[in-house]
Structure 1
Amino acid sequence: MFGRRVLDFSVILAALVAVAAAGRHSLGGREAPLVQSWAEAARKWFFASFSAAEGKAAEDISAAFGLFNLEMARRVSRMPRAEMRVYAAVADDGDALNATLPDGRMSRSGSHHGVLLLDPFPAARFGHPVLMFFIDRGISEKRCNTIGGKRLESGECLQVARKNRCPNLMAAERMGGQNNRMPRHRVHMHVRCAINFIPLVRSAKEAPVRTNQRGGSVGTPEWEQRLTCRDDIPGFNNACPALRDAESTRLVECDPLRLNSQRCDFTHEAAKTKCNIFQTCDHAVLLSGGWNRQMSDSQSLINTLAFYEMLKRNGFSEENIKVFFANGLPADQSRPHMYSAVMKFSLRHHLRTLCETKYCADSLVIYLNSPTRSDGSPLLWDLDNNGEADTNEVYTVREMLRDIQGCLSRRVIMVIDQSYSGEILKAIHNANNLSNVIVFTSGTGHQPAWQGDFTAHWSRAMHRNTCLHQIYEDSLKEVTRSSPSLRDTTSGEATRTTLTGAPCGAYGRPSSDEEARQQYEGCQNLPSSIYLSSVYG
């Protein structure tokens, strides 16, 4: 009887899936021309609006479309459509779509008949500003104009998508006129209101699958994402990003929301932090959050593995390199074991242990390569698949600096190849008790990171005999799409050595390869008197 019920349920489920698939493709060959008409209209709307504006009006237009400064808006306004990547979702007949961003709720984010996203910087890492629109049918021209939309020839209403409260903030800024306070905060407001990510778009008919352990709703699985890259839209960029295969991103290694505690350890001890007795060692932590399959593309894995292999070539032992990557990956012949990036508790405990244990770490290298919020905070992984980042799914800059504050390692070297990396630089400049931290970023201020440019430079460099400051100087010439930056809280002393602290260049007799391996790389023995004094005071 039980087996018969299982069979019947399987048949019903298969039928439902078939019906859903048939409905999804009901537009058939009409979908590509429809998306093309949306993309053309949206692009022309921005171009016409911005070209007709001057001065503060141009700033208002750029902000209204989600571009946070005039320079960026001018660049986009001159951009041929062939450089713009198109993402689109079209609702099935009788259905509608809901969109969710990881870094903020959306204004008028109810259900819509279509979602369009134009990415003017397809080679940039997320987050970076994109142009996002909602499309609705059955709205009168008067109503469309009232809500700030544009009526299309097809009768549909095209609206600019905005984050919650941002339309009110923009209106308040315009009403402020010559008020001196608003201009001072204008850039911050525009950056905060920019849409920087691909939203999760799902059918309005889909209810949350279950409730997670924190009491929040758990969204549809990742393969239910309706907003997809389109390579079939004539005239626009037809090169979609290379994504990791769907199966490898479907589940999370050691998912704390699943009942797998017998097989996995996701406590603070999961990273197996090890401080050797009578030794000090070089340690590294690599974090590549990913967030979801669309933003954790193949390039993010290439970047992480390239940096990992560089560390190994320079004496870092495998057990002292901890990798927190996207949804996690098991070890195989081509890569080490990678913890899930959402194991934030384990990540923070590991960093704090390294920093609070005297002589545990000589060089502590931290590599960051994640999708980032506009304040520089890395997104980890959308564990509950609801599209919105909660406190366990983002590693804030404040938390990061707290974890390395007063670090007892000889030097902390941060290599940050992600968008908005300049915000971390600014936070470190204003922080206290970070006297041994050296930060290398792929850009300044709100600049995006560009694929693997900065990581490739660091991974190719000959670190064994090259000073850190020289690595940085070379990056200014080799990394051309952004402006690499350096912040050294040691007054320049630490950058006059190599990655592992060896003398180099004009600041001391350079070590031979053999001397570097024996005296500076990996683990070095400590005199018992020094080690015991650190343990027993």
Structure 2
Amino acid sequence: MAVTVQDPKHLQKLHCVDLRGYSPCPQPLPLVGSGSTAAYCELNKNTRRCHRQQLPMYKSCRLYQTCDHAVLIAGGWQEQVTYPHHAQNLLLFYQMLRQNGFHQDHIKAFFANEGQGSVAVEMGDVHPATEKLAIRSHLALLCRSLHCADSLVLYLNSPAASDGTMLLWDANHNGIADPKERYPISELLADLENCNARRVLLFLDQSYPGPLAKKLRASRHHPNVVLVHSTTSTTTGGSAFAEFWAGLQPDQCLLQYISPVGPWSAVLASGVPAQLLNVTLAGAPCRSVPPLGEAERQRRYEGCQNLPTMLWYQSRHQQLPQEDD
């Protein structure tokens, strides 16, 4: 990043120029700001800069109900490196989730900074990726609450450092990844540790999946986490990964969908059986006898299902001692 000395806005001075014989310059995705109000909001402080409402996490887990949930994080590190394929990838994955029965209210998307443009039009409420505390708090709620999440899907499509750290957004425009602007894999794994979701499917569509895969293989605290990533190279770009998964149908088995295709790999934590993938995205069995009909699959597995009162009552009493500790 190159900026003028004492420039309070830290405007990027480097620009791409098209030259004959070289690839054309990439076209950044236009992001429309929300005005003069500061975009970055410290959710753990009550300041005037917090002009956005906090993520309504209390609506995510309802009594007597278990649901499929998803968290999508995408976008470039800055405006100059946020391209149309970032928005396209997010939309493709969102549409696939909706097709597989995920309710819109249970898909939380965090994209770029302010002014998400066409993404917000297609998906509804999209939150800035600057809201790291909201991301972690939401994951904590889904994972710590018993019977809240059945399938928990994460789609990550952000720039990454060589150690696997996600770069969320350069909120203060200083070109340095401050702690509030990056999401290390140690924090991600801590947020997913011993998650109470029945299965956690982590789709990694970004650079350097190796460090996360290595830690996950050695972990004994992620018995239900599956990492799906590209094996073609250390970096991924474009929309090949999102386009492939956009074709996943509600009745397709994850294990069968991923196995015939070479560029994709699934990594499971230590001791996790591969049968964790022998279901549909919503958790329906692959080879039930007799086969599940579409209506039965939607009713029993997709979206949300009501919990028996006794099961909720027992789980609530199991959780109370944990809250008292």
- The two structures share one fold, judged by TM-score above 0.5: yes
Alignment of 1:98-247 (within 5 A): 200-203=1-4, 206-209=5-8, 219-220=9-10, 224-231=11-18, 233-237=19-23, 239-247=24-32
Q: 1:383 to 1:467 in 2, by over 3 A?
A: same
Give the corresponding residue for 1:120.
none
Give the corresponding residue for 1:432.
220
**Which of 378, 386, 399 is matched with 2:166 structurally?**
378
CA deviation after TM superposition for structure 1 residue 260, in Å: 3.3
Give the corresponding residue for 1:345.
133
CA deviation after TM superposition for structure 1 residue 422, in Å: 2.6
Amino acid corresponding to residue 85 of structure 2 in structure 1: Q
CA deviation after TM superposition for structure 1 residue 271, in Å: 4.6
Question: Any conservation in 2 of the 1:278–1:528 contact (CA below 8 Å)?
Answer: yes
Post-superposition Cα deviations, 1:45-68, rounded to whole Å, max 9, x if no partner, equal: xxxxxxxxxxxxxxxxxxxxxxxx
Amino acid corresponding to residue 524 of structure 1 in structure 2: Q
Amino acid corresponding to residue 67 of structure 2 in structure 1: C
Question: Any conservation in 2 of the 1:342–1:381 contact (CA below 8 Å)?
Answer: yes
Q: 1:390 to 1:508 in 2, by over 3 A?
A: farther
Question: Any conservation in 1 of the 2:37–2:49 contact (CA below 8 Å)?
Answer: no
Give the corresponding residue for 2:323.
none
Give the corresponding residue for 2:242.
455
Q: 1:252 to 1:516 in 2, by over 3 A?
A: farther
Q: Distance in 1 between matches of 2:204 and 2:106?
A: 19
Q: Distance in 1 between matches of 2:102 and 2:252?
A: 17
Q: Distance in 1 between matches of 2:176 and 2:261?
A: 35
Q: Distance in 1 between matches of 2:37 and 2:276?
A: 38
Give the corresponding residue for 2:282.
500
Q: Distance in 2 between matches of 1:252 and 1:441?
A: 38
Q: Distance in 2 between matches of 1:282 and 1:290?
A: 27
Q: Distance in 2 between matches of 1:294 and 1:443?
A: 27
Q: Distance in 2 between matches of 1:393 and 1:509?
A: 50
Q: Distance in 1 between matches of 2:195 and 2:155?
A: 16
Give the corresponding residue for 1:301.
87
Alignment of 1:452-491 (within 5 A): 452-462=239-249, 464-476=250-262, 483-489=263-269, 490-491=272-273
Q: Distance in 2 between matches of 1:379 and 1:251?
A: 24
**3-state SS in 2 of match to 1:486:** strand
Question: Any conservation in 2 of the 1:420–1:443 contact (CA below 8 Å)?
Answer: no
Amino acid corresponding to residue 383 of structure 1 in structure 2: A
- Unaligned 5+ segments in structure 2 are 319-325
Amino acid corresponding to residue 12 of structure 2 in structure 1: Q
Please tell me whether residue 288 in structure 1 is matched to residue 70 in structure 2.
Answer: no
- Greater relative contact order (Cα 8 A, min sep 6): structure 1 or 2? 2
Question: Any conservation in 2 of the 1:281–1:362 contact (CA below 8 Å)?
Answer: yes
Q: Distance in 1 between matches of 2:237 and 2:36?
A: 28
Q: Distance in 2 between matches of 1:460 and 1:433?
A: 31
Q: Distance in 1 between matches of 2:27 and 2:37?
A: 20
**Which of 401, 409, 416 is matched with 2:189 structurally?**
401
Q: Distance in 1 between matches of 2:36 and 2:274?
A: 44
Identity rate of aligned residues, in percent? 34
Aligned residues: 310
Rg comparison, structure with higher value: 1
CA deviation after TM superposition for structure 1 residue 270, in Å: 5.3
Q: CA RMSD in A?
A: 2.3
**3-state SS in 1 of match to 2:166:** coil
Alignment of 1:302-381 (within 5 A): 302-328=88-114, 329=116, 333-381=121-169
Give the corresponding residue for 1:411.
199
Please tell me whether residue 523 in structure 1 is matched to residue 304 in structure 2.
Answer: yes
Q: Distance in 1 between matches of 2:104 and 2:191?
A: 22
- Compare the two structures and name the one with the higher helix fraction: 1
Give TM-score scaled by structure 1 length.
0.55
Q: Distance in 2 between matches of 1:207 and 1:436?
A: 50
Question: Any conservation in 2 of the 1:422–1:443 contact (CA below 8 Å)?
Answer: no
CA deviation after TM superposition for structure 1 residue 234, in Å: 2.0
Give the corresponding residue for 1:183.
none
CA deviation after TM superposition for structure 1 residue 508, in Å: 5.3
**3-state SS in 2 of match to 1:398:** helix
CA deviation after TM superposition for structure 1 residue 245, in Å: 1.5
Give the corresponding residue for 2:48.
259
Post-superposition Cα deviations, 1:87-136, rounded to whole Å, max 9, x if no partner, equal: xxxxxxxxxxxxxxxxxxxxxxxxxxxxxxxxxxxxxxxxxxxxxxxxxx
Amino acid corresponding to residue 264 of structure 2 in structure 1: P
Amino acid corresponding to residue 168 of structure 2 in structure 1: L
